[in-house]
Amino acid sequence: MLPNRYKGKLIVVEGIDGSGKSTQITLLSHWLRAQGYAVAFSEWNSSPLVRQTTRRGKKKAMFTPTTFSLIHATDFADRMESYILPLVKAGAVVCADRYAYTAFARDVARGASRNWVRNLYSFALRPSLTFYFRVPLDVAIGRILGGRDAIKYYEAGMDLGLSRNVEESFRIFQGRILDEYEAMAGEMGFHMIDATLSIEEQQRRMRQIVVDALGEVLRTGVLRTAQKGSDGIATAAAVL
């Protein structure tokens, strides 16, 4: 991944489905915005250029592990080239719900080689902070099954023929993804968040890490609106 030599910052959340990472990055981005920072948000799999192709492939179950991996990399590349990179260069804080690590975990769980997938994403900007929401498989699965009617075909890894039962396949597949996340956590410098804690406690820890790690650079580099009576970065405690 490319080192971030720009004024802006990139904050990333990772974790398996049901880990609560989307809730947390949404709260964090609102908090940063409330401080006056220029904040942008980028979700996995959301490039307008690639969306139709991904949708077609999923609807008709056309993907192999290789094309599944490549189309997500294409989607990521478009967001990187036309959205994330220009905004970070301009001095914004970009919050990303899932990043290249999702591919590192998921594509490898689908059978792609680790080196190939990592090379594929080598054009990615290295995040300033990556939060990993660590959750036991059963807790995550309980949240997913409680909240939605049906697990989607590729989410459950049904294309891999792990089991004919969707729930069983989902369990096996998410378990593999979890193992991959755990294996790369140290190497990638993830900030671990215990995703079984209360939402408020997780958010408090996230904000503290942001302040500790980025407080100084946020004060001096990042774009923000002028705030009367404010002399720099708020502390996590002051906001909560």
Q: Which positions touch other proteins (CB under 8 A)?
A: 47, 49-50, 52-53, 56-57, 62-67, 70-71, 73-74, 77-78, 80-82, 111, 113, 115-116, 119-120, 122-123
Of 31 and 76, which CB lies nearer to other proteins in the complex structure? 76
In the chain, % helix, strand, coil (3-state, to 5) comes to 55, 10, 35
Distance CA 106, CA 73 (A): 12
Of 120 and 141, which CB lies nearer to other proteins in the complex structure? 120
Pair of tokens at residue 131: 């939060």
**Minimum distance of other proteins from residue 240's CB (angstroms):** 39
Of 26 and 53, which CB lies nearer to other proteins in the complex structure? 53
**Minimum distance of other proteins from residue 174's CB (angstroms):** 20
**Minimum distance of other proteins from residue 178's CB (angstroms):** 21
**Minimum distance of other proteins from residue 113's CB (angstroms):** 6
- Give the strands of the sheet with 93-97, arranged side by side: 39-43, 93-97, 9-14, 129-134, 191-194
Distance CA 115, CA 186 (A): 17
**Minimum distance of other proteins from residue 78's CB (angstroms):** 4
Closest-CA residue to 12 (of 71, 88, 115): 88
Of 71 and 193, which CB lies nearer to other proteins in the complex structure? 71
**Minimum distance of other proteins from residue 77's CB (angstroms):** 4
Of 72 and 134, which CB lies nearer to other proteins in the complex structure? 72
Crossing angle for the helix pair 100-109 and 65-79, nearest 10 degrees? Answer: 180
Q: Mapping DSSP to helix (H, G, I), strand (E, B) and coil, where does residue 189 land?
A: coil
Positive or negative: CA dihedral 207, 86, 185, 47: positive
Of 67 and 220, which CB lies nearer to other proteins in the complex structure? 67
Closest-CA residue to 6 (of 75, 84, 78, 109): 84
